[in-house]
Amino acid sequence: MTDTLAPAAQATASFLTDGATSVLDDAKRQLAAAIDILGYDDGLHAMLAVPRREMTVGVPLRRDDGTQQVFIGHRVQHSLTRGPAKGGVRYSPHVTLDEVRALAMWMTWKCALLDVPYGGAKGGVALDPAALSMSELERLTRRFTTEILPIIGPERDIPAPDIGTDERVMAWMLDTYSVASGYTVPGVVTGKPLALGGSRGRASATSRGVVHVALRALEHVAVPASGRTAAVQGFGKVGRDAAKFLTDADISVVAISDQYGAVYNGAGLNILDLADHVDKTGRVVGFSAAEALPPHELLELDVDLLVPAAVESVITVENAPRVRASVIVEGANGPTSTAADEILARNGALVVPDILANAGGVVVSYFEWVQGNQAYWWNAQDVEDRLSEKMSRAWDDVVSTARIRGLTLRAAAMVLAVERVADAHLLRGLYP
């Protein structure tokens, strides 16, 4: 008998401990902490950590000028234990396999926490969509869909929009899959146009979910209802509507940023006017009713609520000591590093984790999938009421678990989610 691991075991150990990007490191650390609290053994830890299936594909594209270029795409299915895999597709120059692995893992916990019968998945292609023409983007999307066709489907893996993609991209994916199947398959994607079976409320669902839990969190820390202030990092799919809904809730949004810069108005920004400005110029900078703000300072403003709703790893060990918001609600996936999380907790900030805060999108994606399978569509109020109920129940579950176990909200959310996936795995057993 020796201590040498078999090759398969070595590969598993390597995935759990080595060679990861920072965002995957954070995802692994969060899982490991939950495993430790729950007392699970190494075998179950590996089952919960290692993706069930990964596909990396070359995506050839014929450019408009006749030249050819090959892009790299990925689709990772982290878990299939509680149902088909679910997760977005992003087009970004920064897409890597490790990033997709981390995002797929977080999707598993998100679905379990919100009690949605899915496992987690994620996909992406490493490219700048702004550098492609519309016809090039369509050809690339159709080819990427064809490449991952063997592993997606309404009972297997259901893509949705993410950074750099939208309902138009989902329509192309739907059509490509349906043509290959020989009949229309509306349940293969969510986040698609209403005319193709999309759900009312899907486009703004993540933002609504963020604001639902933000209001509960502000009440939880007893921030007075009058005079509440907020800063929102990001003015895209999540940040734009989140800022509007916060304003509708009488919260003064004093600062907003995008990839080009940030703007500030201590009396509160007019979100509709800012949105008009962005529609015309493509960026928040230059908005006449606000002053320019260095983007990094937005995270450090003295506000009641901070909503990082852009990309991963923006609150770090370097800037966390200067974050002054009482409540941080993670509209983006993984915006806070593990080390920064510990600093924020010591400083008394309440962090609402991404797997709870931004779960509104997957909840309404689930509603869209159900509606498509039934060929019966709900009205906007039905969707909003069901979303509110799901988010409120998850908030109550997380707060209760945090109180009983003496945990942060992130640790409590992870423990709940991991336990639900582990229970499902143990009930199903291991085949063969």
Nearest alpha carbon to residue 353 among 301, 404, 415, 262? 415
Which residue in the block uniquely carries the two structure tokens 């998100």? 110
Q: Is-contact 363 116, C-beta < 8 A?
A: yes
Number of CB atoms found within 10 A of residue 38's CB: 14
Q: Is-contact 324 35, C-beta < 8 A?
A: no
Nearest alpha carbon to residue 52 among 19, 18, 23, 87? 87
CA end-to-end distance (rounded Å), the chain: 26
Residue 153, token pair as written in the block: 């489907």
Distance between CA atoms of residues 312 and 116, nearest Å: 24
Which residue in the block uniquely carries the two structure tokens 């229309």? 184
261 Cβ contact list (under 8 Å, min separation 6):
283, 284, 285, 292, 293, 295
Which residue in the block uniquely carries the two structure tokens 């805060």? 357
Distance between CA atoms of residues 362 and 121, nearest Å: 11
DSSP 48-77: HHS-SEEEEEEEEEE-TTS-EEEEEEEEEE
Pick the catalytic residue from 28, 86, 110, 122. 122
Tell me if residue 390 is catalytic: no
Which residues are catalytic, by number? 122
